[in-house]
Amino acid sequence: MGKQVKRIGVLTGGGDCPGLNAVIRAVVKTAIRQYNLEVVGIIDGFHGLVNDIMQPLNEANVAGIVHRGGTILGTTNRDNPFRYAVEKDGQLTFEDRSSQCIANLAARGIDALVVIGGDGSLHIANAFYQQGVPVVWVPKTIDNDLSATDLTFGFDSAVTTATEAIDKLHTTAESHHRVMFLEVMGRYAGWIALHSGMAGGADVILIPEIPFRIPNICAHIQARAERGRKFSIVVVAEGAQEAGGEMVVQKMVAQSHDPVRLGGVAQVVARKVEDQAGMETRVTVLGHLQRGGSPTAFDRILSTRYGSAAVDAVMAGWFGRMVALRTPDIVPVPLVEAIGTLKKVDPDGQVVRAARAVGIAFGD
Active site residues: 143
Burial class (CB in 10 A: 0-12, 13-18, 19+), 169: buried
CA distances from 120 to 82, 186, 211, 259 (A): 12, 14, 26, 11
CA distance 249 to 316: 43
CA distances from 90 to 86, 97, 156 (A): 10, 20, 43
Closest CA to 10 of 61, 84, 78: 61
**Alpha-carbon torsion angle 232, 209, 159, 351, nearest 10:** 90
CA 37, 321, 11 angle in degrees (round to 5)? 50
Phi, psi of 115 (to 5 degrees): -105, 125
Burial class (CB in 10 A: 0-12, 13-18, 19+), 85: middle
The gap from C-alpha 179 to its chain's centroid, in whole angstroms, comes to 28
Burial string for 55-69 (b: 16+ CB within 10 Å, else e) reads eebeeebbeebbebb
In this structure, are residues 16 and 69 in contact, taking their beta carbons and an 8 Å threshold?
yes
**Alpha-carbon torsion angle 186, 189, 195, 197, nearest 10:** 70
Closest CA to 133 of 324, 319, 317: 319
In this structure, are residues 121 and 135 in contact, taking their beta carbons and an 8 Å threshold?
no
